[in-house]
Amino acid sequence: MRIGGQLQSVAVGNPSAGANFSTTVPAGVVWRLVSLTVQMVTSAVVANRGMRLAVQDAGGNVLIRTAPNFLVPASSTVIYTAGAGMPAGNLHPTGTQIVAMPLPQEVYMLPNYLIASSVNAQDVGDQLSAIVLAVEAWVV
């Protein structure tokens, strides 16, 4: 057990339709990323989409990339959930699908690090929403 870290939920505002999300660790805080959840609703435009996550340092260097082995077809609603020890893939294949994305065991993010999504074949009508990170936070 770590001493001093406080578990927090960090809600990220919904990006506009057809856009990705990102959030930055505030100054004076260190985060350990515990999990992330985001809903993706795809438009009716035919194409398979795939969402990836990346963690970048304050200089823009990509430190971590992760993606499930799952593509989302048009006119679908999928909930992505990322966390340490999760298998990559579709956990709930009927109805609103739940897709797991693995994260490394320890993802520490210093001030001005960011986590961002990248959706391939994204359509202007696709919407990311309900974006929530669970972090363990320390004031530095």
Q: Tens-digit pLDDT profile for the chain (140 aa)? A: 456 699 999 999 999 999 999 999 999 999 999 999 999 999 999 999 999 999 999 999 999 999 988 899 999 999 999 999 888 887 777 777 899 999 999 999 999 999 999 999 999 999 999 999 999 999 99
The two three-digit tokens of residue 1, written as one number: 């057990």
Query: What is the Cα–Cα distance from 129 to 3, expressed in whole angstroms?
Result: 33
Q: Is 124 left (phi over 0), alpha (psi -120 to 50) or beta?
A: alpha
Q: Write down the residue that tokens 């985001």 correspond to.
A: 38
Indicate the pTM of the whole model.
0.92
List of residues 6+ apart from 16 with CB closer than 8 A:
none
Put the strands of the sheet holding 62-66 in their side by side order.
22-24, 114-120, 50-56, 62-66
CA 133 to chain centre: 8
CA 84 to chain centre: 13
For the chain, give the longest Cα–Cα distance: 49
Length of the chain measured in residues: 140
The two three-digit tokens of residue 124, written as one number: 């202007």
Domains defined along the chain, listed by start: 6-139 (2.60.120)
